[in-house]
């Protein structure tokens, strides 16, 4: 009986997808944010509108994004192609990863972790998008939400799954998400993955030591980092939005 009060796993055929024509660009501005299941909340919607108007992101990677009924909130933003990948269905709302972009979308690859988190029995997800950028160059956005509340071996198993999927990708890549690296061992194994994929960490400007990212990270290769910041003034989620600007020149 207890199961009816808990979230249900959502299967892969529940992906929601919209493809727009898109425009190529030399500049890539990424907004990465764990929105803490608040994307149907009016305060979060206000924050999201401000972020869109202020930063005009070319790429968006959200974790714990909410879809109500058959639509995503980003349906109203006609410039964006997107894929929504749910991993939880609870009280007629689905939650999961969302990748969105103003760039032309080439193809998508989605992965669920083999293991589930305890009690609620739902997996975590990885969403990989390949985009056309400029001068026939491609850039890959990998959005990750790492498994939590499990033994280290299961965390490492999901990292291995991501490594196997990303090791076949050539060229420019941006890896972003909530990695749940709250322990030194989890950070160590994430750093090993980053080194294997030849990625560099984004270093955020104007960030006090106490505010350095512990859970949420952005890594990159094949692009030049121009600037990056953690936007501490936004409080509609228990995570802070991150904005990083890259150049393909």
Up-side HSE of residue 102: CA atoms within 13 Å toward CB?
16
Q: Provide the pairing of β-strand 138-145 with 172-178.
A: parallel
**DSSP for 152-212?**
HHHHHHHHHHHHHHHTT--SEEEEEEE----SHHHHHHHHHHHHHTT-EEPPPBT--GGGS
Residue extents of the structural domains in the chain: 2-12+25-247
* Overall pTM surpassing 0.85 (yes/no): yes
**The pLDDT of residue 138:** 94
**The pLDDT of residue 3:** 46
DSSP alpha helix (H) spans, the chain: 42-55, 152-166, 184-196
In the predicted model, residues of the chain with pLDDT beneath 70 are: 1-14, 70, 206-213
Q: Which tokens is 151 given?
A: 């033994």
**The pLDDT of residue 7:** 56
CATH superfamily of 2-12+25-247: Endonuclease/exonuclease/phosphatase (3.60.10.10)
How do residues 162-209 score in pLDDT, each as one tens digit? 999 999 999 999 999 999 999 999 999 999 999 999 999 999 976 555
**The pLDDT of residue 92:** 79
């Amino acid at each position: 009986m207890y199961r009816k009060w808990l979230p249900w796993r959502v299967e892969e055929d529940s992906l929601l997808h919209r493809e727009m024509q898109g425009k190529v660009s030399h500049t890539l501005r990424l907004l990465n944010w764990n929105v803490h299941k608040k994307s149907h909340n009016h305060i979060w919607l206000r924050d999201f509108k401000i972020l869109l108007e202020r930063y005009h992101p070319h790429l968006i990677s959200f974790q714990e994004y909410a879809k109500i009924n058959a639509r995503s909130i980003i349906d109203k933003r006609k410039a964006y192609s997107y894929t929504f990948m749910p991993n939880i269905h609870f009280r007629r709302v689905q939650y999961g990863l969302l990748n969105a972009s103003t760039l032309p979308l080439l193809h998508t690859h989605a992965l669920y972790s083999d293991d589930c988190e305890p009690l609620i029995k739902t997996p975590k997800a990885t969403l990989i998008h390949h985009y056309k950028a400029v001068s026939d160059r491609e850039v890959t956005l990998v959005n990750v939400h790492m498994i939590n509340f499990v033994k280290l071996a299961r965390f490492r198993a999901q990292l291995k799954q991501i490594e196997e999927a990303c090791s076949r990708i050539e060229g420019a890549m941006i890896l972003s998400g909530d990695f749940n690296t709250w322990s030194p061992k989890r950070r160590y194994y994430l750093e090993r993955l980053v080194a294997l994929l030849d990625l560099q960490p984004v270093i955020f400007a104007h960030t006090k030591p106490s505010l350095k990212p512990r859970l949420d990270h952005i890594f990159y290769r094949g692009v030049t980092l121009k600037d990056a910041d953690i936007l501490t003034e936004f409080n509609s989620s228990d995570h802070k939005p991150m904005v990083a600007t890259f150049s393909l020149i």
